[in-house]
């Protein structure tokens, strides 16, 4: 049975035709499914997962997360002991953080396809924010606002620089106050909450140096403000000796927490994709792990 690949033509729209052609030339040839709009990949993946052992996302982290939602919805309906559908990734988008974490061979389609078709699988931790799934990272506040305000047209024209341009605009505003609640700890306040299931965040940057996607824990980085010292301490923690006791940051490992805000709602992103979540956001382990195709 051919391996289904869900392609987001908008991921690199100027090269969409050549990408589709390149995928059709792979051996063995995949069963290609093209998305037509937002959430289309989720619906396609959920249907495919009913009778396929593997579904592949071809695009960036946003496409990967859409496909992930569909696969996980199908897996959630399976009986205990029943085999789950695995996720494969062909990193073809603007940002491909999950593929970096999995140590896939960049945008080398043929090399990635060889790994996908090798039949090798491994399991990684899977997480939920309310009723949505994520595999690599999440954010509440600033970075989600940046995702929200970075248009498809900007990503097409400027690539990763488009996120920097949006960040400049967002940083000029007063951020909401976020309340982070972890059982057994006093509530913590911040302006940004970054969440990592792996080492990398926002690109090939090891923001969470000691994180692992197999340890059953999420790594949290809470910015107490949005001044220059927070970013200096982030750079020091990421590049030098990790996060110790900081005046401007909180760094915590936990398996469950809740984020609320003084403004009622704050934007949330999951794997770089804006999530439609309202009210308190509860981050917790999914009831099953995620099988991924990776060598």
Q: What pLDDT, in 10s, does the model give residues 64-123? A: 999 999 999 999 999 999 999 999 999 987 778 999 899 888 778 899 999 999 989 999
What is the arrangement of strands in the sheet containing 273-275, beginning at the earlier edge strand?
Answer: 249-254, 218-223, 192-196, 137-141, 268-270, 273-275
Task: In whole angstroms, give the CA distance from residue 52 to residue 61.
Answer: 22
State residue 25's pLDDT score.
Answer: 93
State residue 78's pLDDT score.
Answer: 97
User: Cβ contacts of residue 135 below 8 Å, gap of 6+?
Assistant: 64, 65, 68, 87, 98, 124, 126, 127, 197, 213, 271, 290, 292
Q: List pLDDT tens digits, range 192-208.
A: 899 999 999 877 778 88
State residue 164's pLDDT score.
Answer: 57
Ranges in the chain annotated CATH 2.60.200.40 = 137-287
5 or 20, higher pLDDT: 5
Pairing relationship of beta strands 54-59 and 86-91 according to DSSP bridges:
parallel
Q: CB 231: neighbour CB atoms within 10 A? A: 13
Of 173, 23, 227, nearest to 113 by C-alpha is 23
Ranges in the chain annotated CATH 3.40.50.10330 = 4-125
Q: List pLDDT tens digits, range 116-165.
A: 999 899 999 999 999 999 999 999 987 676 666 565 566 666 665 665 55
Which of 80-84, 160-164, 227-231, 274-278 has the weakest average pLDDT? 227-231
Using the predicted structure, report yes or no on whether residue 39 has a pLDDT greater than 70.
Answer: yes
Fold of 137-287: Tumour Suppressor Smad4 (2.60.200)
User: Cβ contacts of residue 185 below 8 Å, gap of 6+?
Assistant: none
Residue range 4-125, CATH number: 3.40.50.10330
pTM of the model: 0.86
């Amino acid at each position: 049975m051919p391996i289904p690949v869900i392609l987001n033509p908008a991921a690199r729209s100027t090269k969409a035709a050549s990408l589709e052609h390149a995928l059709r030339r792979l051996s063995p040839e995949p069963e290609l499914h093209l998305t037509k709009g937002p959430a289309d990949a989720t619906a396609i993946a959920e249907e495919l997962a009913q009778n396929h052992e593997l579904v592949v996302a071809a695009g960036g982290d946003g496409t990967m997360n859409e496909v992930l939602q569909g696969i996980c919805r199908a897996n959630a309906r399976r009986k205990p002991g029943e085999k789950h559908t695995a996720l494969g990734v062909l990193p073809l988008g603007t940002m491909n953080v999950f593929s970096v974490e999995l140590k896939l061979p960049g945008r080398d389609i043929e090399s990635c396809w060889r790994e996908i078709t090798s039949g090798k699988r491994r399991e990684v931790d899977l997480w939920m924010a309310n009723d949505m799934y994520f595999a690599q990272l999440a954010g509440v506040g600033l970075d989600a606002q940046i995702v929200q305000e970075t248009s498809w047209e900007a990503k097409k024209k400027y690539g990763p620089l488009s996120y920097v341009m949006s960040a400049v605009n967002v940083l000029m505003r007063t951020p909401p106050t976020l309340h982070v609640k972890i059982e057994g700890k006093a509530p913590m306040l911040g302006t940004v909450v970054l969440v990592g299931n792996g080492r990398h965040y926002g690109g090939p940057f090891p923001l969470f140096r000691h994180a692992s996607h197999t340890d059953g824990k999420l790594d949290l980085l809470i910015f107490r403000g949005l001044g220059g010292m927070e970013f200096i301490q982030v750079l020091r923690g990421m590049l030098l000796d990790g996060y110790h006791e900081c005046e401007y940051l909180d760094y915590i490992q936990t398996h469950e927490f809740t984020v609320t805000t003084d403004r009622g709602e704050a934007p949330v992103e999951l794997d770089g994709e804006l999530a439609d979540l309202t009210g308190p956001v509860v981050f917790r382990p999914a009831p099953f792990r995620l099988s991924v195709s990776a060598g």
